[in-house]
Amino acid sequence: MRRSLSRWYTVRGVRLVHFAVAWVLTAVAPRSLLSQSRSATAASNQGSLALDRPRALSQPRPTDDEIREWSDRKFGMFIHFGLFSTLGGMWQGQQIDNGYSEQIMANAPIPFDQYSALASQFNPTHFDPDAIVALAKAAGMKFMVITSKHHDGFNMFRTAQTSYNVVDATPYKRDIVKQLADACARGGMKFGVYYSSIDWHQPGASTYIPGNSNPIMPAHAAFNLAQLKELLSNYGPISEIWFDMGKPTAEQSKHFAETVHRLQPHTMVSGRVFNYEGDFTVMGDNEVPEFQIDEPWQTPASIFLETWGYRSWQKRDDLPGKIRENILRLVEVVSRGGNYILNIGPKGDGSVVPYEADVLRGVGDWLKDRGEAIYATTAQPFRKLDFGYATVGQGKLYLFVKDLPGDGVLRLPGLRAGQLSGAYLLGSSSHEWFDVTSTKEGASVRIGKDSLAGAGYLPVIVLPFSGRLEVAPASTAPDAAGNFLLALSAADHFFNYNGAGYEAPKTLYKLRWFLDAPPGRYRAEIDVQPTQAKAGLDLVGDGFRTPLTVPFSAAASVTIKQNIRLSPASSETGSPVSIELTPPEPFLKGTQLPSSVLGVRLVRER
């Protein structure tokens, strides 16, 4: 099926035109989505998803609107709280520093019976769910996720599957998860739960192994499913369920995800359900990807890189620096299109560590005047900005100034818009407007020498626009003969994440180049490593999609040749055109390019 790239897409109820894969949006669009994908749509429904984006493996899934609403939240609270909190990273008078404190049972190690006996001492009488919700609101957070069960197998909710839970095994005798779910409902906060797929306590389940990539035995999978049904049935609406660790089979991952979606179809399942069955990709702990990715994603972050659970002897200093660190990471994540979930680790008595509360309030103070540049925005349409970061809102481009250039000019390469009348400092009462200049290379904003004095950390410049906003990506120029050598280093790389366990490497499923190519006939020459059997590959460009066959060969490399015609409508606008290599389209999440691509050339035919 042929596809024209000069076409209209409906995004959030407004039409968005996509020229030659340059990022384009209209000022009237309410939070139009920008992404690395050639398509401007972000959808879970199979029929509305662009062919060059992975499709969900199983159904049902949350709707497009539910995914967008989840993505719009941007900032949330993670809570690692459990039996491990009573130890605070200490065992028998020793600081246990060889891993996260929530995994102290394995790291110390602590014998099974001695660790289990800690339940008789667990009495978090200072746990105040309404105060925690109020703290999250003060921090500007829109959702929270609490550990319902971590790897140690202790359950922070009342479960019929085992008496090893906070109600039946402790003097506290109250359901922590239920209390927080109810407080979130009262406070208008979206609520989710973390659930460890491994369990060091349940008989026949898991024992500790390095990496926590335990296979899930059938009896253990059945136990997990029974607990998932309890969590999804007894605690009200669950915004997201944060699976973690283990190495389930593909069928087990599918069963976990389907169980969640059948009970609460709107619930977003984390990528760490594994085997590509998640509704959103989860990055590595405290990891921020270099670029946007093709689907919803989240960065889980801890205030201290060394631990997520409470650590009594953790060094807590430089509060202003820690606040700035998390403001910056929030902006980095949101500017790339993701959500940021920041962790606190309450003490064993249930109280929040004051330092951690102060960090959250500091981030919230920054957000008070700058929230419009974070919430319900979309990713920056620039590969990189020398001064910092950007997001896109309704008719506004937000510029986060991390390093003001010496000449005071914020350069926006490739930016074109219908109208750019001026820019101003978000949250300022000075009403000062900054000059905006547009050229064929892009646009720029000139900031006065002292205009950001007193603006605080990471000030935000607002650049209103009307009409169409287009950002032409950096592109490859032809040589003197009109030919193109497409270097792999110049390509955008798109990866599958959250495969068969935490340690599974990301896999490449798409390569994309932009080039300044005039219309005409070209011969594509693609050097690949041969496969053990015939495999398919799609060559995709403006106005065409061509299936290719990767032949079997004993040679170190083979060259696939294919004649193509570039006749992009983008030639009228001067925008670059794109060339992509993908698996045969449409393809499922987890599908990777069937062969290693060694080089690509386009030879102009006369």
The structure tokens 């619930």 sit at 267
Residue 69 falls inside a structural domain: no
What domain count does the chain have? 2
pLDDT at site 568: 62
The pLDDT confidence band at residue 58, using thresholds 50, 70 and 90, is confident
**Angstrom distance (rounded) from CA 602 to CA 606:** 13
Closest of 15, 20, 66 to residue 43, by C-alpha: 66
Q: Which of 317, 345, 373 is the last residue of a domain?
A: 345
pLDDT confidence band for 570 (50 / 70 / 90) = low
Packing angle, helices 218-234 and 250-263, rounded to 10: 20
- φ/ψ bin of 489: left (φ > 0), alpha (ψ from -120 to 50), beta (otherwise): alpha
Residues 358-386 have a mean pLDDT of: 96
Please report, for residues 79, 303, 328, 374, the alpha-carbon distance to residue 343 in angstroms, rounded to integers and kept in the order given. Answer: 5, 6, 16, 19
Cβ atoms 86, 348 nearer than 8 A: yes
Count of CB atoms within 10 A of residue 2's CB? 7
CA gyration radius, the chain: 26
Give domain status of residue 198, yes or no: yes
pLDDT in tens, 322-362: 999 999 999 999 999 999 999 999 999 999 999 999 999 99
412-420 average pLDDT score: 87
Q: Is the pLDDT of residue 406 over 90?
A: yes
Given 345, 380, 399, the domain boundary residue is: 345
The answer to whether residue 235 sits within a structural domain is yes
* Largest pairwise CA distance in the chain: 84
For residue 138, CA distances in Å to 76, 147, 323, 368, 454 come to: 11, 21, 14, 9, 23
Q: Mind giving me the DSSP string for 110-134? A: --HHHHHGGGGG---TT--HHHHHH
For residue 126, tell me if it sits in a domain.
Answer: yes
Pick from 235, 262, 245, 111: nearest CA to 180: 235
Closest CA to 528 of 446, 596, 459: 596
Residue 381 lies in a domain: no
CATH number, domain of 591, equals 2.60.120.260
User: From the CB of residue 500, how many other CB atoms can be counted at a distance below 10 Å?
Assistant: 17
- pLDDT recorded at residue 108: 98
**What average pLDDT score do residues 294-306 get?**
96
Which residues 6+ apart lie within 8 Å of 194 measured at CB? 78, 80, 145, 146, 147, 148, 149, 150, 241, 242, 244
Domain housing 500: 484-604
Contact 577, 564 (CB under 8 A): no
Residue in the block written with tokens 């040679």: 555
Q: Which residue from 415, 390, 543 is spatially nearest to 473, judged by alpha carbons?
A: 415
Q: Is 1 part of any domain?
A: no
Answer with the one of 298, 314, 345 that is the final residue of a domain. 345
The whole-angstrom separation of Cα 13 and Cα 36 is 21
Residue 259 sits in a domain whose CATH number is 3.20.20.80
- The pLDDT confidence band at residue 486, using thresholds 50, 70 and 90, is very high
Whether residue 483 is predicted with pLDDT greater than 60 in this model: the reply is yes
The mean of the pLDDT values for the chain is 89
Which pLDDT band holds residue 573 (cuts at 50, 70, 90)?
A: low
pLDDT confidence of 584, banded at 50, 70, 90?
very high
With respect to residue 48, please indicate whether it lies within any of the assigned structural domains: no
- CB neighbours of residue 463 within 10 Å: 25
Examine residue 32 and state whether it is found in any structural domain, yes or no.
no
| 3 state DSSP class of 393 | strand
Q: Helix (H, G, I), strand (E, B), or coil: what is residue 551?
A: coil
> 111: exposed, middle or buried (C-beta count within 10 Å: 0-12, 13-18, 19+)?
exposed
In eight-state DSSP terms, residue 387 is T
As a residue count, the chain comes to 606
Report the alpha-carbon distance of residue 268 to residue 262 in Å, rounded. Answer: 12
